[in-house]
Structure 1
């Protein structure tokens, strides 16, 4: 998804003033805001859209997942009430970043979306514990199930590093890092990097 063109984003929120505020922050950070909606109405134009920012709700989450299916658009959810169930549902659905309204600032919004556009996840540290409480249906993979390289990459993911940072730290190419991450997700039966970090931490792999 990394490209020379400015990243494109669609903003969905039930409050117009919140939408306009996020749009202004992102436009100042060189994002192109394609449009806005409330509860995904009007329906976002997904073609060539890098990021869909939407306000979390059960039905909205399901609609957002269906909309971006096969398009490669990344999902970023804003959350008014952070609960274990909400975090579990979003991570399991493949949401790349979760931004609580109580801590949402111009900096956290821009930083979170830039991380997502770079192919990473943006999950607040205090949410990781919620994920560890989630007993997923993933494999119970012990430390021997991942090789040294895979565990090294996982540790750096847990530290919040992006693909480029991991590549520089381990002296790998970015392609190699992406391949390792793919292998880790497959072995742990996870859809997202956030899930993989949570499962690996719970299982004692990292």
Structure 2
């Protein structure tokens, strides 16, 4: 069963999400807290598989929390859950290294699938937000599912999680130069100008 930590400053929202998760039988809420600072303390005392986190909170907000985790080398899986249909927030969360981004009007089934997805190393994003920031991607030809090698998909998933080449190298036990080559190959194969566009393309065409 997947363990979840909930971070949201609104108590009723937190408790509502916790109750939904309990109904699923696939995950359980290990703890709840009201902001990023409290979450950092909780994570030290009781690690979880997935952090389900609001974005706008007093104190340390959700995006700042992810940045702080990644800056310390912590690859904690974080699924952003917010009421704001804001593509700029989505881009900021993506750049910070969040593993997923959904809106709070999500169904129970979709939420649980998202938690399972990111817990398994995948990436999930609200489709309408992806379409807002994926200018040109919808018009590009769909990528062949086999265009990337297994190792390249693994590297791209870690790129989507906000890891640097050095951090990816440590995770998958490769030389940093080898990881850099894999990233270059991914950009070339997907015809993308940078890492963010490659992640958006991969999300849009469900390559990761």
TM-score, normalised by the number of residues in structure 2: 0.63
Cα deviation 1:151-181 (Å, max 9, x = unaligned):
53469xxxxxxxxxxxxxxxxxxxx62x121
Q: 2:13 aligns with which of 12, 18, 34?
A: 18
Structure 2 unmatched runs, 5+ = 160-182, 188-193
Whether 1:190 and 2:195 are equivalent positions in the alignment is yes
Cα deviation 1:82-134 (Å, max 9, x = unaligned):
22211110111121111112x32222211111111121111122122222249
Whether 1:34 and 2:30 are equivalent positions in the alignment is yes
Whether 1:53 and 2:52 are equivalent positions in the alignment is yes
3-state DSSP of counterpart to 1:56: coil
Who is 1:158 aligned against?
none
Deviation at 1:52, TM superposition (A): 0.9
Taking the aligned partners of 1:30 and 1:200, their CA distance within structure 2 comes to 26
Q: Is the 8 A contact 1:97 1:116 kept in 2?
A: yes
Q: Is the 8 A contact 1:25 1:110 kept in 2?
A: no
Q: How many residues align?
A: 159
3-state DSSP of counterpart to 2:30: strand
Taking the aligned partners of 1:92 and 1:123, their CA distance within structure 2 comes to 13
Structure 1 unmatched runs, 5+ = 1-5, 135-142, 144-149, 156-175
What value does the CA root-mean-square deviation take over the aligned residues? 3.2
Taking the aligned partners of 1:200 and 1:7, their CA distance within structure 2 comes to 25
Who is 1:64 aligned against?
66
Taking the aligned partners of 2:102 and 2:127, their CA distance within structure 1 comes to 11
Q: Is the 8 A contact 1:46 1:67 kept in 2?
A: no
